[in-house]
Amino acid sequence: MANKADQHQTSLGRTVAKLGLAAAGMFAFGFLLVPLYDVFCEITGLNGKTGGRYEYTESDVIVDESRQVIVQFTASNNAGMSWEFRPMQSQITVHPGELVEVKYYARNPTGERMIAQAIPSVVPFKSADYLHKTECFCFTQQVLEAGEEVEMPLLFFVDRDLPKDVSKMTLSYTLFDVTQNFAGKGNTLSAN
């Protein structure tokens, strides 16, 4: 009898341990969803997320003269961001594979040194994966002294595999004030 009760206790203990582990595992899984989601976004272009700096090879930039795509640029400020921020050209027409440079303008009208981060987003979503940025002001934070202005370059090309039904894409940047996030360590940043 006692033996049976012991057996019972061990099997109960095992059940509880397994379930406890499962719960802990699901807690970890909740956090795992974050990188999983990023991978998912990169693959599907969800939310128009674009990849980081694109390392291109010669074969990437063979120009497809037979096709033209309009790339439209917009700029928005998040609430509380006082910079003047706008694209210096509203749109351009490019051939897929053609490496082009455009510029955004920013000015800090306040009396304080400020740090900003630009966040890109592309529509249509299915085209986000085909817009390759080789150089972008959004790769780093922007630091502007009081009253300072800057022209910020963006180098990109459109992939030749861009789906055929896409004739116009919009690249949008939203500017966020991140000065407070970098309070005290702003010196390590460089403006470009």
Partner 1 sequence: MLPTIKKTVNKLWSRAALAVLATMLPVLGLAAGMNMPEGVTEISRATHQLHMTIVWICVAIGVVVYGVLIFSLIKYRKSKGAVPATFHHSTKAEIIWTAIPFLILIGMAIPATKVLTQVYDASESELDILITGYQWRWQYRYLTEEGEEVAFFSNLSTPDEQIYNQVEKGENYLLEVDEPLVIPTNTKVRFLLTSADVIHSWWIPEFALKKDAIPGFINESWVKVEQPGVYRGQCTELCGQLHGFMPVVVNAVEPAEFEAWFAEKQAAAAAIAEMANQDWTLEQLVAEGQTVYTTFCVACHQANGQGLPPAFPALTGSPITTGPIEEHINIVLNGRPGTAMAAYGGLLNPVQLAAVITFERNALGNSVGDMVTPVEILQIQQAAE
Partner 2 sequence: MATGHDDHHHGPAKGITRWLYTTNHKDIGSMYLWFSFAMFLLGGTFALVIRAELFQPGLQFVDPNFFNQMTTMHGLVMVFGAVMPAFVGLANWMIPLMIGAPDMALPRMNNWSFWILPFAFALLASTLFMEAGAPNFGWTFYAPLSTTYAPSTVTFFIFAIHIMGASSIMGAINIIATIQNLRAPGMTYMKMPLFVWTWLITAYLLIAVMPVLAGVVTMMLFDIHFGTSFFNAAGGGDPVLFQHVFWFFGHPEVYIMILPAFGVISEIVPTFSRKKLFGYDSMVYATSSIAFLSFIVWAHHMFTTGMPLAGELFFMYATMLIAVPTGVKVFNWVTTMFKGSITFETPMLFAIAFVVLFTCGGFTGLMLSIAPADFQYHDTYFVVAHFHYVLVPGAVFSIMAAVYYWLPKWTGNMYDENLGRLHFWLSFIGINILFFPQHFLGLAGMPRRIPDYALQFADFNMISSIGAFIFGFSQLLFLFIVIKTVKGGKKATAEVWEGSHGLEWTVPSPAPYHTFSTPPVVK
158 vs 99: CA distance, rounded Å? 8
65 vs 57: CA distance, rounded Å? 19
Q: Residue 188 corresponds to which tokens in the numbers above?
A: 């390590």
Q: CB–CB of 103/135 below 8 Å?
A: no
Enumerate residues 6+ apart whose C-beta is below 8 A from 147. Answer: 107, 108, 109, 110, 111
46 vs 40: CA distance, rounded Å? 8
Share in percent of the chain as helix, strand, coil (round to 5): 35, 35, 30
Write the binding mask 108 to 147 for partner 1: x where contact by CB under 8 A, - elsewhere. Answer: xxxx-------x-xxxx---------------------xx
Q: Does 30 bind partner 2 (CB under 8 A)?
A: yes
Q: What's the min distance (Å) between Cβ of 76 and partner 2?
A: 11
Write the binding mask 75 to 114 for partner 2: x where contact by CB under 8 A, - elsewhere. Answer: ---x------------------------------------
Q: What's the min distance (Å) between Cβ of 108 and partner 1?
A: 7
Among 58, 148, 161, 176, which residue interacts with partner 2 (rule: CB under 8 A)?
176
Residues 192, 75, 66, 128, CA torsion sign = positive
Q: Does 27 bind partner 2 (CB under 8 A)?
A: yes
Q: Does 22 bind partner 2 (CB under 8 A)?
A: yes
In the bound state with partner 2, the residue whose beta carbon lies nearer, of 37 and 88, is: 37
Residues in touch with partner 2 (CB under 8 A): 2, 5, 8, 11-12, 15-16, 19-20, 22-31, 33-34, 37, 41, 44-47, 49, 78, 117, 119, 125-126, 174, 176-178, 181
